[in-house]
Amino acid sequence: MLSPLHKQLLNDYQRDFPLSSRPYQDIADTLGVTEAEVLSAFTELNADGFISRIGPVIPPNHIGVSTLVAMSVPEAQLQVVADKISAHPEVNHNYEREHQLNLWFVLIATDAEHLRQVIEAIELETSYPAIQLPLLDDFFIDLGFKLDLNNA
């Protein structure tokens, strides 16, 4: 069950997260709660699967280089392979798709050589070839949404 604080955090901090040395204190001050309560609430939201991370959304290739990668992985091996891929700090996220290329992930690296090395390492670790799908056109989809705080 979501508390009023959980709902407020989910609603108000999808964007415009405070950029300061104490962002959780800034949020606490704005909401009239303690920093410990904010941290606890975010920890609970993460543990309950309402959020997966708190971090910036940076347009592709503005810092370092990035690429979308797809692999064809047998269903029985999908979770094991996804876990190996997710263990790389350069992997932003990965997900299953209903397609012959059924495992997709976004990879971010400092430069093209680093990107190549990570892809090569993933191929060696998983024994499956990785297909790079370079960005041709950039589309921004704002995934934020306003919550109905009365019924959430």
Domains with residue ranges and CATH for the chain: 4-47 (no CATH), 65-133 (3.30.70.3460)
Q: How confident is the model at residue 61 (pLDDT cuts 50, 70, 90)?
A: low
Tell me, what's the pLDDT at 36?
98
Structure tokens at 121: 């390492």
C-alpha span between 133 and 70 (Å, rounded) = 7
What pTM did the predictor assign?
Answer: 0.61
CA end-to-end distance (rounded Å), the chain: 9
pLDDT value at 79 more than 90: yes
C-alpha span between 4 and 150 (Å, rounded) = 9
pLDDT value at 118 more than 80: yes
Residues 6+ apart with CB under 8 A from 111: 64, 65
**Cα–chain center distance at 92:** 6
- Map residue 104 onto helix, strand or coil: strand
Among 40-44, 97-101, 143-147, which stretch is predicted with the lowest mean pLDDT? Answer: 143-147
C-alpha span between 85 and 53 (Å, rounded) = 17
